Amino acid sequence: MAEKNGASSSQTHFPIPAFDPPRKPKRNKYALACCCLASMTSILLGYDIGVMSGAIIYIQKDLHITDIQKEVVMGILSVYSLLGSAAAGRTSDWIGRRYTIVFAGAIFFAGALLMGFATNYAFLMVGRFVAGIGVGYALMIAPVYTAEVSPASSRGFLTSFPEVFINFGLLLGYVSNFAFSKLPTNIGWRFMLGIGAIPSIILAIGVLAMPESPRWLVVQGRLGEAKRVLDKTSDSLEESRLRLSDIKEAAGIPEHCEDDVISISKEHHHGGSGVWRDLLLRPTPAVRHILMCVVGIHFFQQASGIDSIVLYSPEIFEKAGITKDTDKLLAAMAIGFTKTMFILVATFYLDKIGRRPLLLSSVAGMILSLVGLAIGLTIIEHVDHKMIWAIALCIASVLAYVAFFSIGMGPIPWVYSSEIFPLRLRAQGCSMGVAANRVTSGVISMTFISLYKGISIGGAFFLYAGIATIAFVFFYTLYPETQGKTLEEMEVLFGTFFKWRSTMRALKEKKGDNKGQVQLGATIVTSD
């Protein structure tokens, strides 16, 4: 009987986790702690965006810069961060995900100090350049590490962490603006920018306590270490074994190989010379579809105007009729607080509701909020007396916009792009998504003042509403749901472009058939 039971369990033990994952596993605290630490590098970007929106008021007064120079110093960080994210893919394949995060913190530390000690505009731009490289590294590596450490059951929850910490950093930046705004003009903005060096030291030290990414360890041939990390970061030992065999298969390592350390060919070791060819020159339909989705979602995240609202919030509130500097900074703090609160909604519902419903409802809400803001600002611009209801409409629309952005459009691009690329293309593929994100962010933030002077401030937000409408159609037609899928299952879902729904149905039917066969087999063996 024991033998029969043994036979029964041996025949049904492995397939069941593959077809019927545990419904509600307990959240893995170790994986949670690792992802939390890695994602905290995103505080650096959030802090810089938040602090610059207020510091620029005092920089303009102190250094007497023009509107064009103001636009450039605000938006150039995004363009500089491109260099960081471009280098991060290769660096993370070379020295590992963990040390790349430490490196990002060190670079940002240097950039924050340079900005804090800047004596003129050129010196400030050098500080922006160095900080931008650090931000690019952090933006690329945090989602990749998090996706590679997370168990499938909570990957959406954990890969939304970078966006949570961007928002937390944003709030810290706004608070820093308000705290130092009472200092003399020439000292206050330097404190605002320079104090950003402190979190980067704490992060660089904290990250050293984390394990290396199991996927990177496998690609390095360090299977024993990878297995230990997977055992700690999976919901069960069965899942750990499944994840290890999936990674080994993706890395071209025979499944039966049980050695602790093996030698890997250079192609796998450094991401391969063929990675860019497979991504850009000769992609499979699946990779082309994935690349379209990743670049598209990152482009639309920024093109729908988030950086204009966050970076230029004091300016927008001034156009809406709020004139005192401290009142503008208080209103900006309300933006930071709202963004931070609502990102928590997304974090807890990404794995329950799924990516698509959150993304689509988020974009729909953003469209309505942008239209409301555009109407309010247009009315205020065309009347010569204060209209309290129009000011209230503008403030409510801005807060609604950042709330809707945070529940979907904020975190989902990072979650989506870090989970849908095949392992071999992941680091470079994600860096392309970040590149699209940063270029668009740079263009939007460096043209906002010129744009609203050209087509009116209301017109600028009507334009962003139009872009968000196109984004809604793009997401609705092209984006499959990825909730609960293993990272290695993704490739099957992509490649059919607009017909992904029929692929999804076929997958579900196949899964149902296999599940039925496994259960039938189990019944036969048990009754034998």
pLDDT digits (tens, 9 = 90+) for 329-373: 888 889 989 988 998 888 888 878 888 999 999 999 999 999 999
Which letter, b or e, does each residue of 287-310 get, where b requires 16 or more Cβ atoms within 10 Å of its Cβ? bbbbbbbbbbbbbbbbbbbbbbbb
pLDDT one-digit tens code per residue, 213-254: 998 998 888 888 999 999 988 888 888 888 888 888 877 788
What is the longest distance spanned by two Cα atoms in the chain?
A: 90
Q: Do domains 27-260 and 276-519 have the same CATH topology?
A: yes
Residue 351: per-residue pLDDT: 79
Residue 518: per-residue pLDDT: 45
pTM: 0.77
Residue 18, pLDDT > 50, answer no
8 C-beta neighbours (distance < 10 Å), count: 18
Query: What value does the mean pLDDT of the chain take?
Result: 84
Residue 512: per-residue pLDDT: 67
pLDDT one-digit tens code per residue, 286-323: 899 999 999 999 999 999 999 999 889 888 998 888 88
Residue 489: per-residue pLDDT: 65
Residue 444, pLDDT > 80, answer yes
Domain 276-519 in CATH: superfamily?
MFS general substrate transporter like domains (1.20.1250.20)
Residue 146: per-residue pLDDT: 86
Residue 513: per-residue pLDDT: 64
CB distance 49 to 311 below 8 Å = yes
Q: What is the CATH number of domain 27-260?
A: 1.20.1250.20
Residue 511: per-residue pLDDT: 67
SS3 321: coil
Domain ranges of the chain: 27-260, 276-519
Residue 26: per-residue pLDDT: 65
- Number of helical H runs and strand E runs in the chain: 27, 0
pLDDT band per the 50, 70, 90 thresholds, residue 263: confident
Residue 328: per-residue pLDDT: 85
Among the listed residues 369, 443, 448, 352, the one whose alpha carbon sits nearest the alpha carbon of residue 406: 369
